[in-house]
Amino acid sequence: KRLGVNEIREAYLSFFESKGHLRLPSFSLVPKNDPSILLINAGMTPMKAYFRGDEKPPRTRVTTCQKCIRTPDIERVGLTSRHGTFFEMLGNFSFGDYFKAEVIPWAWEFLTKVLEIPKDILYVTIYEKDDEAYDIWTKKVGIDPTHVFKMSKADNFWEHGTGPCGPDSEIFVDRGPQYGKETPQQGIQQDIGDRYVEIWNLVFTQFEHQADGTYAPLKQRNIDTGAGLERVATILQGVDNLFEVDTVRAVLDKVCEIAGKKYGENERDDISIRVITDHIRSTTMMIADGITPSNEGRGYVLRRLLRRASRCGRLLNIKRLFLTDLADVVIKCSGSAYPELIEHRDFIMATIEAEEKRFDQTVAQGLDLLQQTMNEVKKNKQQILPGDVVFKLHDTYGFPVDLTAEIAHENKLDIDRAGFDRAMQVQKERAREARRAKSDSSWIKSDLAKELKEMPASIYTCYEKT
């Protein structure tokens, strides 16, 4: 059935309301009382206390459409058809209420009856020891057993350290031969290519992973599911990737309009166009939740994303400030689902504009420094750009070493890479010292370091990628 993003969201939430769920609005992207994550990355994360039984939920059945940010996926954004740093996750949750026998048939009913996705293109994976899930899928639901794959613990057992955990079952759609060879088993197992796309994950938290490494049955068994709204829309709308579904496409079209580019003509440009489209969505949403650019924590993630978008704009030859024009489209398309966008409109615009200007100046200064240094080197009849300048360009102006090398080569110069590496090493040690000194602040304890490591080394990554 061809449905818009806003219609699919509504269909999902009202379907689960009809199954006794309480509909709650999306939680903020900023986690509350949870130093273990920097940004909300799944529908269940803001509700951990309900899952653990530490807090009483407003109802034992809840459904939401949650704003999510996943910076670890950033390297894939624009290159795969299915990853954004921002996306909306549809979810239905049971806090000690229903379990596998209800949720699996409901998921099937929603996909095949409400959305009318043909059964023969749906595949599922389950944890190999989960006979209960296997029987529900094959007997109660009646799915073709050749469409069920039993997977190892690494694939289909959801756990994070100690605490509630359990097997899961993922639902995939086969998008057809134009996206690759017909090898469901491999396509799913290795998560390769864009033919078999995971749309929905059903998690059955039924165990407590104890400190001694054993698993004890939980007295409160939970259900946590997550379905990527843009991915579902990609399937229903028959488009190539999640940047082409209606609400996102409007942003993408605006990027093309500003750049004077036609989408689909040049793959290099298309990647930049998709990256900008994604990053303006994540940043607009982050600012609406009160995050502002800074040099640490969430603010640093925001800064990086905005600067990366700006940098990709340069690659498209956009010669003016353009990010607020895009934020405007994001607000228009998603404001009805997320009223905070409309409420904080002025703040969003002012924040983006200031950061874009600041970055513009930084880049201009970096290019100046590079030009000056190259002039001096040439004047002295030398051929090597000093390592400390290469490092300064990297550290202060965000120029990756490869970009500097490339510009140097264009000017028949080389860079002192060993000198750059030494400067990097010194800085790393200094940072380690600083971290040790500051180790009591909460963001250090979080996944921040890991998350930032997974951010591209520089704002110029899309330059390197393309």
Binding residue for ligand ATP (CB under 6 A) from 12, 15, 50, 87?
87
With contacts defined by CB under 6 A, name the span among 113-121, 123-131, 191-199, 381-389 that binds ligand ATP.
191-199
Should residue 394 be labelled a site residue for ligand ATP when binding is judged by CB under 6 A? Answer: no
Binding residue for ligand ATP (CB under 6 A) from 12, 61, 73, 303?
73
Should residue 257 be labelled a site residue for ligand ATP when binding is judged by CB under 6 A? Answer: no
Give the residue from 149, 134, 160 showing the smallest Cα distance to 36: 160
Residue 223 parent element (H or E)? strand 215-228
Residue 205 and residue 166 in contact, taking contact as beta carbons nearer than 8 Å: yes
Cβ-count burial of 296 within 10 angstroms (0-12 exposed, 13-18 middle, 19+ buried)?
middle
Binding residue for ligand ATP (CB under 6 A) from 21, 61, 83, 308?
83
| Distance of alpha carbon 246 from alpha carbon 331, whole angstroms | 14
DSSP bridge pairs for 148: 124
With contacts defined by CB under 6 A, name the span among 94-102, 129-137, 223-231, 307-315 that binds ligand ATP.
223-231
DSSP letter assigned to residue 72? G
Taking the complex as a whole, the smallest distance from the CB of residue 417 to ligand ATP amounts, in Å, to 34
70 binds, among Mg ion, ligand ATP, none (CB under 5 to 8 A by kind): ligand ATP
Should residue 199 be labelled a site residue for ligand ATP when binding is judged by CB under 6 A? Answer: yes
The two counts, helices (H) then strands (E), for the chain are 19, 11
- State CA 21 to chain mean position distance: 27
* Alpha helix stretches (DSSP H) within 260-339: 267-288, 297-315, 323-334
Binding residue for ligand ATP (CB under 6 A) from 227, 329, 337, 448?
227
Structure tokens at 259: 């750049």
Should residue 351 be labelled a site residue for Mg ion when binding is judged by CB under 5 A? Answer: no
Residue 80 parent element (H or E)? none
With contacts defined by CB under 6 A, name the span among 181-189, 195-203, 296-304, 457-465 that binds ligand ATP.
195-203
Give the residue from 6, 42, 31 showing the smallest Cα distance to 228: 42
| Distance of alpha carbon 415 from alpha carbon 434, whole angstroms | 29
Pairing outcome for strands 61-69 and 86-95 = antiparallel
Rg of the chain over CA atoms, in angstroms? 24
Taking the complex as a whole, the smallest distance from the CB of residue 228 to ligand ATP amounts, in Å, to 3
List the interface residues with ligand ATP, window 229-248 (CB under 6 A).
230-231
Give the residue from 44, 65, 24 showing the smallest Cα distance to 223: 44
Pairing outcome for strands 196-209 and 163-174 = antiparallel
Query: What would the x/- binding string for ligand ATP be over residues 105 to 144, using CB under 6 A?
Result: ----------------------------------------
Amino acid identity of residue 105, one-letter, is P
With contacts defined by CB under 6 A, name the span among 12-20, 84-92, 110-118, 348-356 that binds ligand ATP.
84-92
Query: What would the x/- binding string for Mg ion be over residues 403 to 432, using CB under 5 A?
Result: ------------------------------
Should residue 282 be labelled a site residue for ligand ATP when binding is judged by CB under 6 A? Answer: no
With contacts defined by CB under 6 A, name the span among 10-18, 46-54, 224-232, 435-443 that binds ligand ATP.
224-232
- State residue 266 phi and psi, 5-degree precision: -145, 120
Residue 147 and residue 122 in contact, taking contact as beta carbons nearer than 8 Å: yes
Nearer to ligand ATP, 246 or 360 (CB): 246
List the interface residues with Mg ion, window 169-208 (CB under 5 A).
198, 201
DSSP letter assigned to residue 249? H
Nearer to ligand ATP, 31 or 226 (CB): 226
Should residue 415 be labelled a site residue for ligand ATP when binding is judged by CB under 6 A? Answer: no
With contacts defined by CB under 6 A, name the span among 145-153, 199-207, 305-313, 332-340 that binds ligand ATP.
199-207
454 binds, among ligand ATP, Mg ion, none (CB under 5 to 8 A by kind): none
Should residue 57 be labelled a site residue for ligand ATP when binding is judged by CB under 6 A? Answer: no
| Distance of alpha carbon 163 from alpha carbon 168, whole angstroms | 16
List the interface residues with ligand ATP, window 201-220 (CB under 6 A).
201
Residues that bind Mg ion (CB under 5 A): 198, 201
Residues that bind ligand ATP (CB under 6 A): 42, 70, 73, 82-84, 87, 89, 191, 198-201, 226-228, 230-231
